Amino acid sequence: MAQPLAKGLAGRPENHGSAKVQRPWIEPAVTAVVFGLFVLYSLWEVLFHANGVYGSYVSPFFSPQVGRWLGMRNFIAIPVVWIPLFFRGTCYYYRKEYNRAWFWHPSSCAATEPSGRRYTGESRFPFSWTNLHRYFWYLAVIVLAFLWKDTISAFFFHQGFAVRLGSLLMLANAIFLTLYTFSCHAFRHLVGGGKDCNSCMLGAQAGQPTTSYRMWTRVSRWNQRHGGWAWASLISVWVVDLYIRLLIMGVIHDVRFF
């Protein structure tokens, strides 16, 4: 529990021992900058580029290549990119982050709403649309399967199997996205939701949890790190796409390890 700050004679907060002056605006500010830059980069990538493939590499923004399958010449990422965008945008963790960073709604758990505003949660538009999150999760799992297919293909070239920097970056991205997706609150609800109480999830013999309960417990542990996987996967998508974009532009050359 947060402790009240001690005040000096001048009425200013002081630090004593390990106590820290809390600045609740720091996290929202960092989130606003980083997430805002990612959104701007994403718009630049999908609106101004018609190719996200370099050799065996496929950018996560362009996978699966539905636009190419449909014969599109421009905006080929649009048919698919909205799925991970909406999945991430409606994520419980990101709701907290952008509500604090962009809408100041509120700035932190212990902070009150600005004067004249009343907290309504997600019961009113436009915040109510985020309740579609679980349906975007189903679609995101399909996209994730294609990303794993692309990751496997990233280790095979014209000369055969090889390990290159791009291959490893795509593998790390697929792992981070998998951890982010399956530590999600929506998946936790899918494997253990719809129950009135935890005790109702016990098996026929007392003390013997059902498979559903064991999975719910395991996903609950994963869920504790969901915020970390959210940021790791956000950065890995950014890095992989930028790496492939620089390869396409001829700015860098792929590094081969063996």
Token readout for 32 is 């606003």
Q: Flag whether 31 is in a domain.
A: yes
The domain tally of the chain equals 1
Q: Flag whether 241 is in a domain.
A: yes
Q: Flag whether 58 is in a domain.
A: yes
Q: Flag whether 197 is in a domain.
A: no
User: Between 218 and 138, where is the model more confident?
Assistant: 138
Q: Flag whether 37 is in a domain.
A: yes
Q: What is the pLDDT of residues 125-139, one digit of tens each?
A: 666 666 777 888 999
Q: Flag whether 95 is in a domain.
A: yes
Output DSSP code: residue 164: B
Query: What is the domain extent for residue 38?
Result: 22-183+225-249
Residue 141: Cβ-neighbour burial (10 angstroms; 0-12, 13-18, 19+): middle
Q: What is the pLDDT of residues 6-45, one digit of tens each?
A: 444 444 444 444 444 456 667 777 777 887 888 889 999 9
Q: Flag whether 217 is in a domain.
A: no
Q: Flag whether 17 is in a domain.
A: no
Share of the chain above pLDDT 70, in %: 69
User: Between 26 and 246, where is the model more confident?
Assistant: 246
3-state secondary structure of 67: helix
Residue 51: Cβ-neighbour burial (10 angstroms; 0-12, 13-18, 19+): middle
pLDDT at 258 over 80: yes
Mean pLDDT, the chain, integer:
79
Q: Which amino acid is at 124?
A: R
Q: Which of 47, 81, 86 is nearest to 64 (CA)?
A: 81
Q: Which amino acid is at 187?
A: F
